[in-house]
Structure 1
Amino acid sequence: MINSLYEHNTFTSKISKLIILKGVQEALYDPK
């Protein structure tokens, strides 16, 4: 139970880091 919860948390944080990196890259390459 705790193991799967930990894995879910790390998976979610990886996804949010990817989303944040993607947003930063788009902001850098497409300045408004």
Structure 2
Amino acid sequence: MANNSHQRKKKRSKTSKRHKQQEPAGPRRFS
């Protein structure tokens, strides 16, 4: 179960990177 959580976090990181290029203030406020 812990491994599943880690993989899900990695997928979110990939989306955050894409959003960072379009909206750097978006993910930063969320973080």
* Same fold by TM-score greater than 0.5: yes
Which sections of structure 1, spanning at least 5 residues, go unmatched? none
CA radius of gyration, larger in: 1
Greater RCO, CA 8 A, separation 6+: 2
Q: Tell me the TM-score normalised to structure 2 length.
A: 0.58
TM-score by length of 1: 0.57
* Runs of at least 4 residues off by over 4 Å: none
Structure 2 unpaired stretches of 5+: 24-31
